[in-house]
A and B are shown apart, each in its own frame.
Chain A
Amino acid sequence: MFERLSVMLMKEFLELKRDRWAMFRLVVPLLVQMLVFGYAATFTVHHVTTAVLDLDQSQASRSLISHIVATSRFTVVDVAKTQRQITHDINDGSATIAIVIHAGFARELANGQGAPLQVIIDGTNSNTALIALGYLEQIVAQYSAQLPGTVTLVPGFAATPPRGIDLRTQPWFNAGLNDRWFFIPGVIGTLTLMQVVSLTAFAIVREREIGTLEQIMVSPIRPVEFILGKTLPFFLIGLGDISLISVLGILWFHIPFLGSPLIMLLGASLFLLASLGMGLLLSAFSRTQQQAFALNFFFVNPFFILSGFAFPIAAMPKALRWFTLINPLRYFLVVIRAIFLKGVGLSALWPDLLAMALLAFVMLTISVRRFHKSLD
């Protein structure tokens, strides 16, 4: 078992080492896409039209509003008196963002409880709204940092959501609106899926095309040995990918990483296994690299679109919602976002982890079964 596996691995890594462009192909597209995605979501915006509804009318609430207005980011276009007025402002487009301070805001803050701040966003103008939301988070974070005793900030990240004030966004129209931080962890999962699936599929189809696969099939090698030898390298590459772009997201885009690296490793591993399984299945149905390319395009794109990355799953037609259940990316996005942004642990994430484990198991089993060392 280990003898055959070790020569398979030796061969894969030697081929990778000899391929002068391999490193380039593995790393550069990821970095470029990460930067493009990251920056597309983060250009600066000034004078976002803002409506304010202050139902608390306390010193604390007025102070928060003046903090917001003090920056050039927001321009208050309406100081509303009722919720209806706010609704109207958003509906007719005169305000992009609305801030609602509920009665009791000051009291809750003083009690040391988290005080909710409701933010309503015009989701149709999502890019601006998204950026504005980011600013608002920072301003609120700074504001609550000044409150004596009641606020504890997670150190190291200026833009971490404050514990003191619970920023309740209530996006309208575009219910799945992502904020900037929501976006980049999603990019990590998506890019990894695309890379790992296509690498795996192409690696096997290439051997089929050049004829070495036939030469291997006629040996007494066991399907498991072959499949392990063929996928383990990509598993490691996938882990490298995820680490690389996560570090880039944290250091360059200042995405907070609140959760446990170990749970992240677990989630990433399960996700990679499921992705490898997908790649193997694609390769089983392709005779040539062109076919693999077409299938890859045909399958990975829907997986991307139906993952909740950009379009909310809840808003999809029922049939598509069912389809998302077999999409590993859907679960990994939940996991990676929760680990990055919320820091929640296994107790909250086990259903998604379990789903990925099941998918990985099923897809890998099918691929081992289908690889029965025969050409018909």
Chain B
Amino acid sequence: MNATGPAVVAEGLTKRFRSFTAVDHLDLRIEKGEIAGFIGPNGAGKSTTIRMLCGLLRPSEGRALVAGFDVGQQPEAVREHIGYMSQKFSLYGDLTVRENLRFFGGIYRVARGEMGERTRFAITMAGLQEREDALVRTLAGGWKQRLALGCAILHRPPILFLDEPTSGVEPEARRRFWDLIHELAAGGVTILVSTHYMDEAEYCNRIALIDRGRLVALGTPGQLRSRHLGGELFEIRCTPLGAALHVLQGAAGVIDAAIFGDRLHVVLGPGGLDQAGLPGFLQEHGVSVQAVRTVTPSLEDVFVRLVSTHHGGQDSS
């Protein structure tokens, strides 16, 4: 791998399945040692992108360099430098923990002298010390998932692709898994991880929001929060919610309004309504207001907003 360049670069990366475009001219740059999150709804094209970056799917257009190698031209060179955990992270259920590790170690040709140490490392990392000889199919989801991660990094890949590694795993195990990801990144591994859990986005250094095959936003969680909301976020407790939403959506200065549980979230831009004017405006329209306060937007707020404007744009075009 070249010593200085970015770990992953994609330029106009596109994948079409017949006439359907699953990934649409994606530009991306991931630096070494970063944890990059791919966030997006189901069918957004996360897995397709990751598969192209792993050399499993040929790009229909554009190109991507992983560890400095072109994924379309030199997929074998790419494979030498990556670890991959597919969305269905799969191990052999009829083999024991140790046998699975030995299999993947052999497939990746981990040196014989190193195998013992790597196996121990993976077993400790997965917390499977007592269960090395248990059949994998008898393990619970969190263990399987950590073991799959262990199998994917036996050969010390500098770049790791994890496709929805935490799906279907209970919250405690998810947290442990993210601790592992951070440890790996601290050791210099570049990690590209996809998820559709919005809360996990906060754990990433940088986030790529993908929707319908397009890159909708890219940046650190902080950047996304401040840049993409287009204004300040307020939480309003009022009744009735429906009527309030209705009047706010048409009002000047309101960028976005949405029901959020038993409250309203409203984004106010410059000009038009401001925080001070909100209660009066609503009461004029027959809505009784209990409280208005500023909130720090969660990434979920950002995504909901970005995805909805994105769809709106597509529908009108």
Interface flag for B84 (CB, 8 Å):
yes
Interface flag for B80 (CB, 8 Å):
yes
Supposing A19-B94, A374-B58 touch, asked if A219 and B86 sit within 8 A by C-beta, the answer is: no
Does the CB pair B57–A218 fall under 8 Å? no
Q: Which A residues between 1 and 58 are near B, CB-CB below 8 angstroms?
A: 3-4, 6-8, 10-11, 14-15, 18-19
A18, A220, A374: the one contacting B109 at CB < 8 Å is A220
B92 contacts which chain A residues (CB < 8 A)?
11, 15, 212
Does the CB pair A214–B106 fall under 8 Å? no
Q: Which B residues between 34 and 58 are near A, CB-CB below 8 angstroms?
A: 51, 54-58
Give complex CA distance A375, B84 in Å: 15
Does the CB pair A218–B54 fall under 8 Å? yes
Does the CB pair B56–A217 fall under 8 Å? yes
Give complex CA distance A175, B22 in Å: 59
A376 contacts which chain B residues (CB < 8 A)?
57-58
A6 contacts which chain B residues (CB < 8 A)?
106
Give complex CA distance A251, B99 in Å: 41
Interface flag for B23 (CB, 8 Å):
no
Interface flag for B212 (CB, 8 Å):
no
B79, B90, B94: the one contacting A219 at CB < 8 Å is B79
B88, B103, B105: the one contacting A211 at CB < 8 Å is B88
Interface flag for A70 (CB, 8 Å):
no
Give complex CA distance A376, B55 in Å: 11
B88, B89, B109: the one contacting A4 at CB < 8 Å is B109
Does the CB pair A218–B95 fall under 8 Å? no
A14, A211, A220: the one contacting B94 at CB < 8 Å is A14
A7 contacts which chain B residues (CB < 8 A)?
102-103, 105-107
The interface size bin for chain B is 20 to 34
B56, B58, B76, B99: the one contacting A214 at CB < 8 Å is B56
Annotate A215-227 by CB proximity to B: 1 below 8 A, 0 otherwise.
1111111000000
Interface flag for B210 (CB, 8 Å):
no
Judged by DSSP, the binding face of A is helix
Interface flag for B75 (CB, 8 Å):
yes
Supposing A217-B56, A218-B84, A373-B75 touch, asked if A15 and B109 sit within 8 A by C-beta, the answer is: no
Does the CB pair A211–B108 fall under 8 Å? no
In the complex, what residue of chain B is closest to A213 when comparing beta carbons?
B90
Give complex CA distance A214, B95 in Å: 18
A319 contacts which chain B residues (CB < 8 A)?
none
Does the CB pair A210–B57 fall under 8 Å? no
Nearest chain B CB to A122's CB is how many angstroms away?
55
Does the CB pair B109–A211 fall under 8 Å? no
Does the CB pair B90–A215 fall under 8 Å? yes
A3, A14, A220: the one contacting B99 at CB < 8 Å is A14
Supposing A4-B107, A215-B86, A374-B58 touch, asked if A220 and B76 sit within 8 A by C-beta, the answer is: yes
Does the CB pair B84–A215 fall under 8 Å? yes
Give complex CA distance A19, B109 in Å: 27
B79 contacts which chain A residues (CB < 8 A)?
218-220
Q: Which B residues between 56 and 93 are near A, CB-CB below 8 angstroms?
A: 56-58, 75-76, 79-80, 82, 84, 86-92
A375 contacts which chain B residues (CB < 8 A)?
51, 56-57
Give complex CA distance A7, B277 in Å: 71
Does the CB pair B56–A211 fall under 8 Å? no
Interface flag for B289 (CB, 8 Å):
no
Give complex CA distance A304, B107 in Å: 38
Give complex CA distance A306, B307 in Å: 59
B102 contacts which chain A residues (CB < 8 A)?
7, 10
Q: Which B residues between 104 and 129 are near A, CB-CB below 8 angstroms?
A: 104-109
Supposing A11-B99, A14-B99, A211-B88 touch, asked if A216 and B56 sit within 8 A by C-beta, the answer is: no
In the complex, what residue of chain A is closest to B60 when comparing beta carbons?
A376
Does the CB pair A219–B88 fall under 8 Å? no
Max chain B Cβ within 10 angstroms of own Cβ: one of A6, A218, A373, A375: A218
Interface flag for B287 (CB, 8 Å):
no
Max chain B Cβ within 10 angstroms of own Cβ: one of A7, A18, A219, A221: A219
A15 contacts which chain B residues (CB < 8 A)?
92, 94-95
Nearest chain B CB to A26's CB is how many angstroms away?
16
Q: 7 more A-B contacts (CB under 8 A) besides A18-B94, A210-B88, A215-B151? A: A8-B107, A11-B99, A214-B86, A215-B86, A215-B90, A218-B55, A220-B79
The 6 closest A-B pairs by CB, nearest first: A7-B106, A211-B88, A211-B90, A18-B94, A218-B84, A219-B107
A-B contact pairs, 19 of them (CB 8 A): A4-B107, A10-B103, A10-B106, A11-B99, A14-B95, A18-B94, A210-B88, A210-B90, A212-B92, A214-B88, A214-B90, A215-B86, A215-B89, A219-B107, A220-B79, A374-B58, A375-B51, A375-B56, A375-B57
Interface of B toward A, CB cutoff 8 Å: 51, 54-58, 75-76, 79-80, 82, 84, 86-92, 94-95, 99, 102-109, 135, 151
Interface of A toward B, CB cutoff 8 Å: 3-4, 6-8, 10-11, 14-15, 18-19, 210-212, 214-221, 373-376
